[in-house]
Amino acid sequence: MNGAEQVAIEARKQDIRSRWILSAPALIIIFVAAIGPLFVMLLYSFLVKGDYGDVKPWEFSLDGWTSVFFQRDIFDDTLGLADAHISIIWRSIQLSFFTTILTLILGFPTAYFIATRPPHTREIWVFLVTIPFWTNLLIRTFAMQQVIRNEGLLNNALIWLGIIKSPLQIIYTDTANLLGMTYVYLPLMVLPLYASIEKLDFRLVEAGYDLYATRFQVLRKIVIPLVKPGIIAGSILVFIPSLGAYVIPRVLGGGKNMMLGNLIEMQFGAGRNWPLGAAMSITLMILVMVALIVYVRNASRGGSGHV
Amino acid sequence: MTESRTTAAHGGAIGLHGIKKWFGNFQAVDNVTLDIRPNEFFTLLGPSGCGKTTLLRMIAGFEMPTEGQVLLDGADISGLLPNQRPVNTVFQNYALFPHLTVAENIGFGLKMLGRPKAEITSVVNDMLKLVHLDGRGHNPVTQLSGGQQQRVALARALAPRPKVLLLDEPLSALDLKLRKSMQIELKRLQLETGITFVFVTHDQEEALTMSDRIAVMSAGTVRQVGSPWDIYDRPAERFVADFIGETNFLSADVVSVADNRARVRLSSGAEISASFPADVTPSGSVTVVVRPEHARAGAPTDTSALRGVVHDIVYLGTDTHVHVHLDDGSAFMVRQQNARSGHCGFSKGDTVGIDFSDDVAQILRD
């Protein structure tokens, strides 16, 4: 090894060292605030639950994980499927899926409308879309409760118009959850959709019409493929918080229509089963990751060529 | 290949009758009536904002005329949507679909028309050959050069075999060399396919090179329609004469009119013969135009049509421009071709006589 090489290696080492030092603050935050707590959760999920909540330190057990999907029969101690848990997880997935679809159906025309306004009026529309963010989620959810409850705005209006005789039972059903989540998460769909529709070259739409495409074909063959990044981003932004929703099902769904978020909260609260809560939290995270991978894979297939 | 060319050899005739188009308070097109013949290479030429693109968009169906009718082979198509008109457009910036391949772009129109897959494939292959892009069908269009994208745009618009092809300044984004070769290419495609081409440009050279006929537009109206020769050599009015090429304006008095020639007296006192637009009978004082290359400068003689002093000499390689101050104070330019190398024979301050042959002067309408 000659001298020059040694100097070069030394310089590279110096370089690497200074990079580590420079990125240390960010790394510390990530470890303390994100990865650290995850490891705590992972550890807790393998511990034995404490008698009054908490866990028994360093007593390991797989009970937390098995009780995510299974439960022991009280009388004969056999292992059976935890129907309640599975139905709640399944409901969460379904509701999140339909919320995503519903926000997409409502958000796409909205975003398209905004993107096709003259530039200076677009800003006003975007501003209007973001207004709900000024208010706390809890307050917005209570507002929704006021609209859909039995003596609420919607039912009173429908009765007054003579469309229905007795109030519709919307509150404390899955429909209420769906309506609430759609309302709360709609801006998260509209904004990324708008961002990508706004970038759409509308001469391509004209070219489509010129080449004998109908309105529907222009939408399906030109607009949707080109704004796909916005559709993917919006769907991800809506699906993830929907899956972990807590406040909305708590206020609108009542006790019967729990979602995964409420089930997890229960384990840390009244249920006094922290390992189960931890295992469920990680299950939720895995669900989100699997959904993301499946979705992004499917969505990016077929849309070759464009970046 | 040959089959597709012969079956496509039918161009449609476009009739524009009394077209007016308002955008709010702005009138983009004012009472335009034009007849574009089948199989013709027809150019709408004018400065930006003259309404030529609006006119094209009304033929395509993207804009509806406020008044007037658009006819295709005699049938009124004013009420039809763009996707109902057998007319295709080559857009200014090509507007290729970035998420599709070259072949998918070219086949798009046929696919939307619901043609069978086999037919689409064979037409797309023909088109790829026609525009010299064989074997590039599977490339994404985003990876092509500007000239190649241009040719894909052409092939895409030609593939459904429209009766009329509309071209909206398609060459403006290309560099000079590519533009020249595409001009020849476009003319070849028009002859081979037999489709009527309606071409929009602000570039007079493009218009003169390719067109069968040209309509010169200004401020929403058509100023003159004619062959490139008509437009260049027999401009009917000042705008046309000024917009196309360089020209000299001379004031003159009409002495006599016989058949379709007039005798006019120039300010120098010399009398020359001049032609005039068919729809006017010249009288009194008129403006006469003479193209710089139609005039010759030389030593002044008694018979010289004009006399003046050389003010500037500009050497341009192929030509030399001799700028002359005429005796009546106006400016005149003579363009001499540099047939031999060496100096043009004049220098600044020389007194020269200017002559031109009898058939080059044209009286303007105003």
pLDDT in tens, B98-122: 999 999 999 999 999 989 999 999 9
Tell me the shortest Cα–Cα distance from A221 to chain B, in angstroms: 10
Nearest chain B Cα to A227, which residue? B99
The CA-atom distances, in angstroms, between B289 and each of A69, B234, B269 are: 95, 9, 17
Helix (H, G, I), strand (E, B) or coil at B126: helix
- Ranking A123-127, B46-50, B344-348 by mean pLDDT, the lowest is B344-348
Question: Domain coordinates of chain A in residue numbers?
Answer: 1-44, 83-300
State whether B97 and A214 contact (CB < 8 Å). no
**Does residue B324 carry a pLDDT above 50?**
yes
- Ranking A121-135, B174-188, B222-236, B351-365 by mean pLDDT, the lowest is B351-365
| The pLDDT of residue A4 | 80
CATH number of A83-300: 3.40.190.120, 3.40.50.150, 1.10.3720.10, 3.50.4.10?
1.10.3720.10
**Does residue B4 carry a pLDDT above 50?**
no
Model pLDDT for residues A189-232, shown as the tens digit of each residue:
999 999 999 999 989 999 999 999 999 999 999 999 999 989 99
Mutate to test the interface with B, among A196, A206, A210, A224 (most CBs of B within 10 A): A210
Residue in B81, B99, B157 nearest the CB of A226: B99
- For residue A51, the 8-state DSSP code is B
**Does residue A305 carry a pLDDT above 50?**
no
Q: How confident is the model at residue B267 (pLDDT cuts 50, 70, 90)?
A: confident
Question: Which residues of B fall within a CB distance of 8 Å from A210?
Answer: 60-62, 82-83, 87-89, 157
Q: What would the mean pLDDT of B261-280 be, rounded to a whole number?
A: 79
Strands B285-290 and B362-363: antiparallel
Nearest chain A Cα to B158, which residue? A211
Q: Which residue ranges form the domains of chain B, and what is each CATH number?
A: 2-233 (3.40.50.300), 246-363 (2.40.50.140)
Question: Which residues of A fall within a CB distance of 8 Å from B87?
Answer: 210
| H-helix segments, B159-301 | 176-193, 204-210, 228-233, 238-243
**Does residue B156 carry a pLDDT above 90?**
yes
Tell me the pLDDT of chain A averaged across its residues. Answer: 88
Question: What percent of chain B clears pLDDT 90, i.e. is strictly above it?
Answer: 23
Burial class (CB in 10 A: 0-12, 13-18, 19+), B303: exposed
| The pLDDT of residue A127 | 92
Tell me the shortest Cα–Cα distance from B81 to chain A, in angstroms: 8
Is residue B137 within 8 angstroms of chain A, CB to CB?
no
Is residue B156 within 8 angstroms of chain A, CB to CB?
yes
Residues with Cβ within 8 Å of A153's Cβ and at least 6 positions away in sequence, in order, are A146, A147
Q: How confident is the model at residue B341 (pLDDT cuts 50, 70, 90)?
A: low
Q: For residue B200, list its beta bridge partners.
A: B44, B168
| CA-atom Rg of chain A in angstroms | 25
Tell me the shortest Cα–Cα distance from A127 to chain B, in angstroms: 28
Nearest chain A Cα to B138, which residue? A305
Residue in A212, A226, A305 nearest the CB of B112: A212
Residue in A204, A206, A217 nearest the CB of B112: A217
State whether B99 and A304 contact (CB < 8 Å). yes
**Does residue A45 carry a pLDDT above 80?**
yes
| The pLDDT of residue A1 | 56
Tell me the pLDDT of chain B averaged across its residues. Answer: 85
Nearest chain B Cα to A207, which residue? B95
Question: Which residues of B fall within a CB distance of 8 Å from A222?
Answer: 97
Question: Which residues of B fall within a CB distance of 8 Å from A213?
Answer: 83, 108, 112
**Does residue B17 carry a pLDDT above 80?**
yes
| Chain pair A-B, CB pairs under 8 angstroms | 74
| The pLDDT of residue A107 | 95
More confident residue, A163 or B345: A163
| The pLDDT of residue B59 | 92
State whether B99 and A217 contact (CB < 8 Å). no
State whether A214 and B83 contact (CB < 8 Å). yes
Question: Which residues of A fall within a CB distance of 8 Å from B95?
Answer: 201, 203-204, 206-207
Residue for token pair 């330019």: B333
Tell me the shortest Cα–Cα distance from A230 to chain B, in angstroms: 15
**Among B295, B299, B313, B303, CA closest to B356:** B295
Structure tokens at B178: 């590519």
Question: Which residues of B fall within a CB distance of 8 Å from A201?
Answer: 95
Q: How confident is the model at residue B344 (pLDDT cuts 50, 70, 90)?
A: low
| The pLDDT of residue A253 | 86
B82: alpha, beta or left? (left if phi > 0; alpha if psi -120 to 50): alpha
| The pLDDT of residue B6 | 40
Question: What percent of chain A clears pLDDT 70, i.e. is strictly above it?
Answer: 97
